[in-house]
Chains A and B, each alone.
Chain A
């Protein structure tokens, strides 16, 4: 990651004594980190976790296909929840900023409520309560509804911040041209707001992908659940969970980098 001016100032190289200390520090920390890594690998070896029988199946077509199916399950849930959240978040924001007071209060309450409730609690709710009334729901929706509910509330706040970030001169110019407030929003504010929030929307996809792991609770066939099945078949806990964790990290890292790239390219900050 590139250093900023403040960070560069912190490392400005000093005199010969300071330089020597930095070299010593570098050598010692490099040795310690190498030792740590060696200890981890030895631990794996000692406990037999590097054995062929715990790893060979990763090259088998059916295992790869099964984990791949899990990954597709994750993507389906994440994209479904993301798409719903894009729309619902916009609706919540529009209601919240509307001039009809009760509507705006209602939207604010719903937003706070969804944002403050754990997704997991909502998933247990859909898993356990509708069944008590004889309603059957697919596990896909048990994951997607709570995930998108939380994301909708977050995106409503993101959109609101985006609207606030459009220079007020733009809105005033629209009004002075005689546009109605809805025309003003549609033609002046909205296009600029969407540009401002795009990197943040992408960054929020990371949260959605993470939340789909709660499919584990309702056994919706996503990556974590399929990993569990592979583990049951090959009794290989450490390697499978490690590989799956790395897959999640890589996916989310790629999404974050893409969001950062969008943000740098258009010089737009990522809103929180």
Chain B
């Protein structure tokens, strides 16, 4: 067992680190994109323009309920038939952005609803318009009240980055690498354990820092 472990680490140690980094990279970009898109969607969802609200509702319900695998497979294998060819890693990121933006939008909507309507009425009485109410009163408070669900969302994006193993990435992410190793090595069991622990500890570390941020910024009502 010990000799096997040394053999595995010698052979795959650096690949493990670089694949772990690929997973993190995918997750970071996807979460940032999802957060941004989710914020824009939320603004459209609370805007006074009915077609925008309707379109956002359809978007959110679609991507909240669609499996990531389905979205990814569609982007990678179906879109080329529509003349849209996207490289594998961007495809994984786009799939995760679409899905996570739907969840981010839902989180933010919950956050907005923790704000008392009186605040908005007060802002209106002061003569503020929709965009300044949303930008300087609603969103800042909404962000601060949804830190915990957003942290949870980030952790699930990290976990979902494993969907990258479904497509032949140029640089394999963690799950794909482990599956690959086990296609050649007979004693690759321990690689699963290492990968799993990397995911678990990443999640715990994110949760730890999330709690710190929350303690600083959250508004307790």
Contacting pair B192 A245 (CB below 8 A): no
CB atoms of B162 and A118 under 8 A apart = yes
Q: Which of under 10, 10 to 19, 20 to 34, or 35 or more describes the interface residues of A?
A: 35 or more
Tell me the bound Cα distance from A8 to B192 in angstroms: 51
- Residues in chain A near residue B204, CB distance under 8 A: 112, 116
What is the total of A-B residue contacts with beta carbons within 8 Å?
169
Q: What count of chain B residues pass the 8 Å CB interface test?
A: 67
Q: Does B18 contact A (CB under 8 A)?
A: no
**Given contacts A10-B120, A44-B82, A242 and B74 within 8 Å (CB-CB):** yes
Chain B interface main SS type: helix
Chain A at the B interface: SS class: helix
Question: Is the Cβ of B49 less than 8 Å from the Cβ of A26?
Answer: yes
- Contact assessment for A9 and B50 in the assembled complex, using a CB-CB cutoff below 8 Å: no
Scoring B61, B67, B134, B188 by chain A CB atoms within 10 A of each residue's CB, the highest score goes to B67
Q: Does A4 contact B (CB under 8 A)?
A: yes
Question: Is B117 in contact with chain A by the CB < 8 A criterion?
Answer: yes
Residues of A with Cβ closer than 8 Å to B?
A: 1, 4-14, 18, 22, 25-26, 29-30, 33, 43-44, 46-47, 49, 112-113, 115-118, 120-122, 124-125, 128-129, 132, 206, 209-211, 213-214, 216-217, 224, 237-238, 241-242, 244-245, 248-249, 251-253, 256, 272
Output the nearest chain B residue to A37 by Cβ-Cβ distance: B55
Within 8 A of A (CB), among B169-221: 174-175, 178-179, 182-183, 186-189, 192, 195-196, 199-204
Q: Indicate if the CB atoms of B74 and A241 lie closer than 8 Å.
A: yes
Q: Which residues of A contact B55 (CB under 8 A)?
A: 29, 33
**Is the CB–CB distance between A248 and B82 below 8 Å?**
no
Residues of A within 8 A of B129 (CB): 18
Give B166 Cβ to nearest chain A Cβ, in Å.
7
Q: Within the complex, which residue of B52, B67, B81, B120 is in contact with A47, where a contact is CB–CB below 8 Å?
A: B81
Report chain A residues within 8 Å CB of B69.
210, 213-214, 216, 224
B165 at the interface (CB under 8 A from A): yes
- Shortest CB–CB separation between residue B191 and chain A, in angstroms? 10
